[in-house]
Amino acid sequence: MNEERRLIYHYLRHDKKFPHVWCPGCGNGIVLGSLIRTVHALGLSKDEVVLVSGIGCAGRLPVYVDFNTLHTTHGRALTFATGIKLAKPHLKVIVIMGDGDATAIGGNHLIHAARRNVDLTAIIVNNNIYGMTGGQSSPTTPHGLRASTSPYGHAEHAFDIARLVEAAGASLVARGTIYHVNLLDKLFQRAMEKVGFAVVEVISHCPTHFGKLNFLGDAVESMRWMAEHAVAVERAKKMRPEELQGKFRIGVLVDRDMPDYQSEYEKVRKRAMEGVPYRIDPQEISKMLESHQIY
């Protein structure tokens, strides 16, 4: 075994009955590999990592790895993760979701976890479709394309996950693909190091359903498409808008320092423990109102 395989082997659960559930060509294995390398690179112990998932193909990811793993309900992974993180702040809580999981049924939880800025790492594997249930359209299915529930072309418009969570208040927003694996390792690392809500959208594919329904070819072909259409953020800055037409940016899209929920709540605890009524002087109130920015 080479070093890479030995590393992955060390983190997998061997008492879990392999083979895994994913189709040939699926991107989830690449995401899992990247995740393991990142945890290893950061020197995190298996005991302090909690890997939480929702339902769907990506939701099956935690069962294979030797961390504290929690496979929750559809769309709700972030709510469980919030409870774990607030109860035991020293744990490194990583949440893995699919696009339907995170942005349809879990859309409300996603924006509120971002707004609260809970110190979590959220990985959203976006393959533009519901894979496990047979290729139905998701909130990221592009307009006009086909899905098993959009046989005449998808009538809706897609979410841009990165912009959604940026607007909702995430501290770090990044986008990678399953083709750019070295970059993905770095993005995962940045996200896990970030204090606050950090989101990595991973552009993936579903050759079984989305690829087949939309004549996108096999896994290799769709990864070639990713290679041709992804533009590093640094390079995108130097490109004209017309050059960026039809392309998407990868890299760290947003990185801002904001107090996370845990540290804010620590202040609440301190005030409560002191037992004196919380009073704000009127000048402070107007300052707080001014810093509450809306357009």
Partner 1 sequence: MGGEEERRPKLIQGNEACAEGAIAAGCRFYAGYPITPSSEIAEVLSYRLPAVGGTFIQMEDEIASLGAVIGASLAGVKAMTATSGPGFSLMQEHIGFACMAEVPCVIVNVMRGGPSTGLPTSPSQGDVQQARWGTHGDHPIIALTPWSVRECFELTVRAFNLSEKYRTPVILLMDEVVGHMRENVVLPDPSSLEIFDRVKPSVPPEWYIPYEDTSFGVPPMAPFGEGYRYHVTGLTHDVRGFPTLREDEIEPFMARLFRKIWSHLDDIQTWDTFQMEDAEICIVAYGSVARAAKRAVLEAREKGKKVGLVRLITIWPFCRRAIEEALKGCKVFVVPEMNMGQISREVKRVVRGRGEVLTVSKALGRLLTPNEILEPILEESR
- Footprint of partner 1 on this chain (CB under 8 A)? 13, 15-17, 46-48, 50, 52, 62-63, 66-73, 76, 79-88, 90-91, 108-109, 112, 265, 268-269, 271-273, 275
- State how far the Cα of 68 lies from the Cα of 48, in Å rounded to an integer: 8
For the bound state, the minimum distance from the C-beta of residue 269 to partner 1, rounded and expressed in Å, comes to 4
Nearest approach in angstroms of CB 111 to partner 1 is 8
Please say which residue, 90 or 237, places its beta carbon nearer to partner 1.
Answer: 90
Residue 59 vs residues 74, 106, 124, 223, 228: alpha-carbon distances, Å = 9, 13, 10, 22, 28
Q: Which of 153, 159, 155 is nearest to 139 (CA)?
A: 159
**Closest CB 44 distance from partner 1, rounded Å:** 12
CB of 129 to partner 1, least distance (A): 22
DSSP assignment, residue 37? H
Residue 176, token pair as written in the block: 């990678």
Q: Which of 210, 75, 208 is CA-nearest to residue 137? A: 210
Phi/psi for 79 (5° steps) reads -70, -45
- Please state whether 171 falls in left (phi above 0), alpha (psi between -120 and 50) or beta: alpha
For the bound state, the minimum distance from the C-beta of residue 90 to partner 1, rounded and expressed in Å, comes to 7
C-beta of 241 vs 275, nearer to partner 1: 275
Q: Which is closer to partner 1, CB of 18 or CB of 152? A: 18
> Of 10 and 271, which has the nearer Cβ to partner 1?
271
What sign has the CA pseudo-torsion 120, 126, 128, 131?
A: negative
CA 168 to chain centre: 14
CB contact at 8 A, 172 and 252: yes
Q: Find the shortest distance in angstroms from Cβ 67 to partner 1.
A: 6
Question: Quick one: 210 or 261, whose CB is closer to partner 1?
Answer: 261
In the complex, least distance from residue 280 CB atom to partner 1, rounded to whole angstroms? 17
**Spatial distance between the Cα atoms of 72 and 81, rounded to a whole number of angstroms:** 10
- Residue placing its CB nearer to partner 1 in the complex, 30 or 114: 114
The overall longest dimension of the chain from CA atoms, in Å, is: 67
Closer by beta carbon to partner 1, 69 or else 136: 69
Q: Which residues pair with 283 in a beta bridge?
A: none
